[in-house]
Amino acid sequence: MGKNIRLFTVLVAMVVWISGCGSGSNDTVTVKTDEGRAEVSKDGDKVTVKTDEGKTTITSNEDDGTVQYEASDGNGGTVKVESGSKELPKDFPKEIPLPEDAEIVTTVNMSSDQMKGYMVSLSTGLDVQKGADFYRDALKKDGYELADTSTPDGVTLVGENDTYNMFIVVVPDTANAGKTSITITFGAK
């Protein structure tokens, strides 16, 4: 375990070093340790780490602030995470509603060979209770079984239907007075 932590620390340091070289530069560094070897390369806004166990690529887009992370193991398994977009993912389920005045703050789209999931963070003019009621009503109409917890600071909804598991947090938006922050996290079953 300690050896893996050291290798991971060295790789992270190399990624940070290469990332700091500027988006226009291209560099490749090979890191050798007792645990193995890794090739860390930078090509524009893309950093790739290749080992005997697989490959990880991190791509950043300075224009829209998004980051894409993709990893594969040596057996064909993959994980992909896209974050930072202020737009809903293309395959975001249409049956999951957003309040009319919703401003998307950020999204995360996660997928692997075994699962598909999303996280959408938004801001709305609805107060906390109306935001929770919006999702409580909409999801019950769509066949979700829901449980919720209310605290003085917000409301948490947990639910599922035949297609998705869902977790929604509704709290005051600390960055925007008078607004409510809603974070929707869900995954396909």
Q: Give the chain's domain count.
A: 2
List CB contacts of 114: < 8 A, sequence separation 6 or more: none
SS3 readout for 127-143: CHHHHHHHHHHHHHHCC
Interval 70-79: pLDDT, tens: 888 777 778 8
Same domain, 71 and 110: no
Check residue 1 and give its pLDDT: 40
Longest dimension (CA), the chain: 57
State how beta strands 164-172 and 180-188 pair: antiparallel
pTM score, two decimals? 0.72
Residue 147 lies in a domain: yes
> Domain range spanning residue 118?
86-189
Return the SS3 of 85. strand
Interval 33-66: pLDDT, tens: 787 888 888 888 888 888 888 888 889 888 888 8
Strand ranges (DSSP E) for 44-179? 46-51, 54-61, 66-73, 78-85, 103-112, 116-124, 145-151, 154-160, 164-172
Confidence of residue 5 (pLDDT cuts 50, 70, 90): very low
Same domain, 94 and 162: yes
Check residue 72 and give its pLDDT: 85
CATH number at residue 177: 3.30.310
Looking at 65-74, 112-121, 122-131, 144-153, which range is the least confident one?
A: 65-74
Same domain, 104 and 123: yes
Check residue 129 and give its pLDDT: 96
Same domain, 12 and 64: yes
Residue 81 lies in a domain: no
Among 41, 76, 111, give the residue marking a domain's end. 76
Q: Is 137 exposed, middle or buried (0-12, 13-18, 19+ CB in 10 A)?
A: exposed
**pLDDT: is 88 or 123 the higher one?**
123
